[in-house]
Chain A
């Protein structure tokens, strides 16, 4: 593509495939590097269900869960910290350990609000209610893995999942200007199977949700 200054630049394309990638065959070194990178980007879930003992996510028993609330992103995590979580009614039962270019989480459950973390809590009065607070960024290539590993630990029959997330107002597409939108501005998406009343209007076309909440 030629710019107005007369220079020729490669225009970023929505095609998503770099032409250099196509031609090159993978050498054994490339494969080794890729494998190492993939290992580094693997997600580990550490459950601390029994006091003192921690089990890997490959435990055979599935967690009995009736309600699973997932708060994704710093805003949703902060909301859940301020209005829902407290040390009396909720206990920490698990943590996700991951690394990507944007953040790293640790396996400690004693976190500060400014840290990147992904923790699981359980309601003490009803242990089938689980809550996940995920303030770290889960990269594109890790989202599917996160999904499979987290939901792989749960019994999915009779499970109700609620996902809380935020998006920038600038991304919201509407006929009117975004300055006139009411506050708080809430929208929802629900599956056919969700029969209960939704507390806010549904998200209209052409707006979409992406990344981990979408996964």
Chain B
């Protein structure tokens, strides 16, 4: 199961849009939930007149049987105090549907990085202990960097370290819950800031691709991902001619 966390810059969600759009995944269902702000629109992955009139809502599930891939896309923020019930419901669905592993795409505030994190790659990963056993070696081969823990009481006591994902939304909660429930979960995240997060989404989805090999790794991988039609006009309308 591949899914985003609603996080800074919405990078996880944008990356998921790229995956669904490029692999032309089929919608197989949706979550009827009171935990997310309601929204509805026409098919965000429309490519032609014929397929543009299917309704789309805030939490939908897509699948690609050939790659045994199921993707959940979340399109609106959590309602206050509802993110915990959502996480619980989600993880119990993961268990009951016998999903082998979960990959969470997320992001974290770039301004919270320490001096060392400012250098080198802005991409990080996390693995629950159950998944560490299975793919820990692969991460070493890919030369990936694990998300650093921070001091629980900075300045006072630097020995006790905790996981801290500022701006990551439900990332930390889902990860810690998965650890305790024995779920194989990986978190892939990028440090970023709010703004035009399209390049961040591309970076994150290419990072994911290094592992899952969803599309062929060509020299210029950015051009291999298909941008969905709903990404048009992200920064406003056309200008009124009377302005000039």
A190 vs B167: C-alpha distance when bound (angstroms): 36
Quick one: closest B residue to A15, CB to CB? B169
Partner of A205, one of B6, B41, B81: B41
Partner of A204, one of B34, B42, B80, B194: B42
Partner of A177, one of B53, B231, B238: B238
Any B CB within 8 A of the CB of A214 = yes
Nearest chain B CB to A47 CB, angstrom units? 23
A13 vs B40: C-alpha distance when bound (angstroms): 22
Partner of B55, one of A17, A145, A176, A189: A189
Q: Report whether B42 and A205 are in contact in the complex, using a CB–CB cutoff of 8 Å.
A: yes
- Residue numbers in B under 8 Å from A172 (CB-CB): 237
List the one stretch of A105-113, A118-126, A136-144 in contact with chain B: A136-144
Q: Report whether A175 and B233 are in contact in the complex, using a CB–CB cutoff of 8 Å.
A: yes
Q: Report whether A206 and B83 are in contact in the complex, using a CB–CB cutoff of 8 Å.
A: no
Q: Which of A164-195 contact B (CB under 8 A)?
A: 172-180, 189-192
- Residue numbers in A under 8 Å from B234 (CB-CB): 206
- Residue numbers in A under 8 Å from B38 (CB-CB): 143-144, 210-212, 214-215
Known: A175-B237, A206-B229. A34 touches B81 (CB 8 A): yes
Quick one: closest A residue to B229, CB to CB? A205
Any A CB within 8 A of the CB of B78 = yes
Nearest chain B CB to A171 CB, angstrom units? 10
Interface positions of B (Cβ within 8 A of A): 5-10, 34, 37-44, 46, 52-55, 57-58, 76-83, 109, 111, 166-170, 172-173, 193-194, 229-234, 236-242
Shortest beta-carbon contacts, A-B, top 7? A144-B34, A208-B41, A177-B240, A16-B77, A215-B38, A15-B169, A214-B38
